[in-house]
Structure 1
Amino acid sequence: MSKERFSNNINIRNRQAGFEYELLDKYVAGIVLTGTEIKSIREGKVNLQDGYCYINNGEMFVKGVNITPYAQGTHYNHEATRERKLLLKRSEIRKMEGKIEEKGLTLVPVRLFINDRGFAKMEIAVGRGKKLHDKRNSIKEREAKRELDKMKF
């Protein structure tokens, strides 16, 4: 069994979130995971695209994040898209709850990483959905930046 398969340098991003939403505030939260889930995360087999967060009874959950079942897992393997609890301070959850009640704001998972202590953390952002013209502006800015980078070389 090789140790190269597992990595502590995991940094999985949800690039679609920056395109679909205007990200206002970011928070870092811990995640409640099972043993096979953390092994799959260390292998980098996570998809954040369809994920979203919600608050229920003062607790925050993330739903729709796909963590591929662990290949060597037995009958104890996890369900790929189960809802997972996020660990945040109560004051942070209350602050986010107040913002979400505003019109058009939502909680989006932006990044999943493993910190220096070896714990899996999820960066979530309060975002406002972009309109079509906002997306066009984002594309124009990105292409202009790309052209400037080409000119530098």
Structure 2
Amino acid sequence: MNKKLKFDKIINIKNKKASHEFEFVEKFVAGLVLRGTEIKSIREGKVSLTEAYCFFRSGELFIKQMHIAPYVMAASYNHDAVRERKLLLSKKELDKLDTKFAEKGLSIIPVRIFINDKGLAKMEIALGRGKKLHDKRQDIKEKDLKKELSRLAY
């Protein structure tokens, strides 16, 4: 039996709450600065993005409140589950995000974490505007209508 089987699955962890709470204006793909045991926990799929948010500090983008569960097989050098992690973007993308982030009502939201073809952990972040209650209701109506139409098609 192959011991690497638990890491072979495709990792695509989504923040489902984000699409309900925010209207996405623009999306970016960023790299993550991780410690050794963090990437192993991500490959096991033990990540939560529901309370995570991004912020700027001295021209760099960080993510806060992203929970990566401690790696079970680590001995003594395990990581802190909710520490701040740096996001890696190009200078051009950072400047673009920073200027738009300064606008009132826009936030930077983590949308999903995935492992790319090279085996690196990447995060999709979105520049989003918070939805009002009536916008959320409209989205739910449209979603229900699509379900009904797909049921009638069969």
TM-score normalised per structure 2? 0.97
The residue aligned with 1:101 is 102
The residue aligned with 1:115 is 116
Q: Which runs of 5+ in 1 are unaligned?
A: none
User: In structure 1, the residue corresponding to 2:108 is in which secondary structure?
Assistant: strand
Determine what percentage of the aligned residue pairs are the same residue.
56
Shift of 1:138: 0.7
The residue aligned with 2:130 is 129
Tell me which moved more, 2-11 or 122-131: 2-11
User: In structure 2, the residue corresponding to 1:12 is in which secondary structure?
Assistant: strand
Shift of 1:7: 2.8
Shift of 1:8: 5.2
1-side partners of 2:120 and 2:134: how far apart? Answer: 39
Shift of 1:75: 1.6
Shift of 1:152: 1.0
Query: Post-superposition, which runs of at least 4 consecutive aligned residues in structure 1 deviate over 3 A?
Result: none
2-side partners of 1:95 and 1:129: how far apart? Answer: 19
Q: Residues 60-79 of structure 1: matches in 2 within 5 Å?
A: 60-79=61-80
Tell whether the 8 Å contact from 1:64 to 1:82 is kept in structure 2 after alignment.
yes
Distance 1:49-1:9 versus aligned 2 partners, 3 A rule: same
1-side partners of 2:49 and 2:84: how far apart? Answer: 13
Cα-to-partner distance string for 1:34-59 (whole Å, 9 max, x where unaligned): 11000000000000100100111111
Shift of 1:2: 2.0
The residue aligned with 1:11 is 12
2-side partners of 1:53 and 1:114: how far apart? Answer: 20
Q: CA RMSD in A?
A: 1.0
Q: Which runs of 5+ in 2 are unaligned?
A: none
Tell whether the 8 Å contact from 1:7 to 1:43 is kept in structure 2 after alignment.
no
Cα-to-partner distance string for 1:56-103 (whole Å, 9 max, x where unaligned): 111100011110000111220001111100000111111011111111
Tell me which moved more, 5-14 or 37-46: 5-14
The residue aligned with 1:20 is 21
Which amino acid letter does the alignment assign opposite residue 42 of structure 1?
R
Shift of 1:107: 0.2
Work out whether 1:80 is the aligned partner of 2:81: yes
The residue aligned with 2:153 is 152
Shift of 1:113: 0.2
How many residues get paired?
Answer: 153
Tell whether the 8 Å contact from 1:8 to 1:118 is kept in structure 2 after alignment.
no
TM-score normalised per structure 1? 0.97
Cα-to-partner distance string for 1:95-122 (whole Å, 9 max, x where unaligned): 0111111110000000100000000000
